[in-house]
Amino acid sequence: MIALRDRLPALWENPAGHRKALLRCLIEKVVSYRCARDNAEMRIVWRGGATTELLVMLPINAVTALDKQQEMVERIMHANS
Judge whether residue 42 has pLDDT over 70.
yes
Q: How confident is the model over 5-39, as pLDDT tens digits?
A: 788 888 788 877 778 888 888 899 999 999 887 88
Question: For the packed helices 2-13 and 18-26, what is the interaxial angle rounded to 10 degrees?
Answer: 130
Measure CA 61 to chain center.
16
Judge whether residue 53 has pLDDT over 90.
yes
Q: Compute the mean pLDDT over every residue in the chain, rounded to the nearest whole number.
A: 83
What pLDDT is attached to residue 64?
66
Task: Tell me if 44 sits within 8 A of 52, measured CB to CB.
Answer: yes
What pLDDT is attached to residue 65?
66
Helix, strand counts (H, E) of the chain: 3, 3
